[in-house]
Amino acid sequence: MAAKNQTRNKIGTWVGFIFILVWCLLPVVWIMSLSLKGPGETAAGSAQFLPKSPTLQNYRDILGIGTVTPGQENTHADFLDALRNSFGIAAIATFLAVIFATLAAYAIARLDFKGKRLVLSLALAIAMFPVVALVGPLFDLWRTLGLFNTWPGLIIPYMSFTLPLAIWTLSAFFREIPWEMEQAAQVDGATSWQAFRKVIVPLAAPGVFTAAILTFFFAWNEFVLAISLTSTTASRTVPAQLSFFVGPDPFNPPYGLLAAASVVVTVPIIIIVLLFQRKIVAGLTSGAVKG
């Protein structure tokens, strides 16, 4: 009886597992297959899943390697510019957001000050605020301040919108670290700053990495602000740039090209997740206190 139940459980687990896998990964596989199809195949409205004659021409076009399809001569230059913008803006926004969030979260977790709840609720309110509602005012403001179509013009809003989440994540991590750690460091001769830098931050590393990844993803994937606050490839990021891939025929968007670009921008995200996955290990603090 028990054995039968166990097998049934196992089968059920696997069915569920496969279902979720297909549900999540089918669109990704579809994009990858699409990126390998030539314009003839996508324009014909073909319904088959796998490409009939797989080609890497789309990748050649967007990355500018080898011979480029006629009519797509400028695509690769724009795409590579956008890729550079995306990297730069996302990296700087992440860096600044994590630094500010770490300091703010530490203060919130450790210090008792007036208006602590206010700071936290305000942060939450900002996180809930619809980004679209800010596009108009920001557009005007940035044009007046000369921030329109610049890197800082995107870095500042990205940082502001990711700070709340980063602060909440990090303050939760800081709260987990026993007070004694810091007190021990102070007794051992550390200043508050040294105790923070040498003991607290390393212990909060999983939290710092989590916050960094969340911030980076937001900045990397963001579209509304990227399309509204930029006008040229001087600061346009990849998601916005993709909407400018129109091709020679307005009625036939270059689906293959778009798919190839999507695959290319997804790769860094996957690499980052795989790299930092090991850093985001829970239980790093095990052994600090009696276990």
Partner 1 sequence: MAEIDMKNIVKKYGDGFPAVNDVSIDVQDGEFMILVGPSGCGKSTLLRMIVGLEDITSGEMVIGGKVVNDLAPRERNLAMVFQNYALYPHLTVYENIAFPLRLAKASDAEVDEKVRAAAATLELEEHLERKPGNLSGGQRQRVAMGRAIVREADAFLFDEPLSNLDAKLRGQMRTEIARLQKKLGITTVYVTHDQTEAMTLGHRVAVLKRGLLQQLATPRELYEQPGNLFVAGFIGSPPMNFLPATVEGTSVKLPFGSVEIPAEKAEKAAGKGLLIAGIRPEHFEDAAVKEGASGSASTFRAPVDVVEWLGNETYAYIPFEAPPEVEQQLRQLERDLDGEVLHTQLVVSLDGKSQIAEGEEAEIWVDGTQIHLFDPTTGENLTVDRERAGRIPEGAETVSAS
34, 52 contact by CB (below 8 A): no
Binding pattern to partner 1, positions 39-78, x when CB under 8 A?
----------------------------------------
175 binds partner 1 (CB under 8 A): no
Structure tokens at 287: 């052994």
Tell me which of 12, 66, 146, 202 binds partner 1, using CB under 8 A: 202
Tell me which of 203, 225, 226, 259 binds partner 1, using CB under 8 A: 203
282 binds partner 1 (CB under 8 A): no
Count of residues engaged in binding partner 1, rule: CB under 8 A: 26
How far, in Å, CA of 246 to CA of 43, rounded?
A: 13
* DSSP annotation string for 187-209: HTT--HHHHIIIIIHHHTHHHHH
Q: Return left, alpha or beta for 64; rule: phi > 0 is left, psi -120 to 50 is alpha, else beta.
A: left
For partner 1, the closer CB: 194 or 243: 194
Of 51-59, 87-95, 180-188, 251-259, the window that binds partner 1 (rule: CB under 8 A) is: 180-188
Find the helix packing angle between 151-176 and 132-145, rounded to 10°. Answer: 120
For partner 1, the closer CB: 13 or 191: 191
Shortest distance in whole angstroms from residue 185 CB to partner 1: 7
Let me know the angle formed at the C-alpha of 138 by 133 and 268, rounded to the nearest 5 degrees. 85
112 binds partner 1 (CB under 8 A): no
Closest CA to 59 of 87, 31, 26: 31
Structure tokens at 235: 């600061």
* Residue ranges in contact with partner 1 by CB under 8 A: 178, 180-181, 183-191, 194, 198-199, 202-203, 205, 284-291
